Amino acid sequence: MIHRPLQMSDKTDGPDGDASILTKTRSKTQRPPLYKVFLLNDDYTPMEFVVHVLERFFGLNHAQAFEIMLTVHKKGLAVVGVFSFEVAETKVAQVMDFARRHQHPLQCTMEKE
């Protein structure tokens, strides 16, 4: 068998070189924290208003919205979505503002997952 001197182009590592650096970089990657958004039950907000809120601000279809509304009604609260801090904060503010404008006591809160 005929040998030739090793060439740099013989390396099996990726185009940027050192595989150990790629591994370290990946292990340090952290996902941003997520926040659960809750809807709370009360005795006064109409069921149809809650269904409308879930459709309007959380992109649920009517059947999904009705099901979650019933869960809140029966259990006292339910998670209606999980979002980044900024999106969760916006959803809570939108729901609270919409409920206040319609003079309903509906409460929406968020909590770090």
Q: Does 110 bind ligand TYC (CB under 6 A)?
A: no
Q: Does 73 bind ligand TYC (CB under 6 A)?
A: yes
Nearer to ligand TYC, 67 or 89 (CB): 67
Burial class (CB in 10 A: 0-12, 13-18, 19+), 39: buried
Token readout for 99 is: 């409920």
CB contact at 8 A, 34 and 79: no
Q: Does 69 bind ligand TYC (CB under 6 A)?
A: yes
Instruction: Looking at residues 83 to 102 of the shown chain, list those that interact with ligand TYC (rule: CB under 6 A).
Output: none
Instruction: Looking at residues 1 to 40 of the shown chain, list those that interact with ligand TYC (rule: CB under 6 A).
Output: 39-40
Q: How many CA atoms lie within 13 A of 103 on its CB side?
A: 0
The strands making up 107-112's β-sheet, listed across from edge to edge, are 77-83, 35-40, 107-112
Nearer to ligand TYC, 60 or 106 (CB): 106
**Least CB distance from residue 93 to ligand TYC, whole Å?**
16
**Residues making contact with ligand TYC (CB under 6 A):** 39-43, 45-47, 50, 69, 72-73, 106
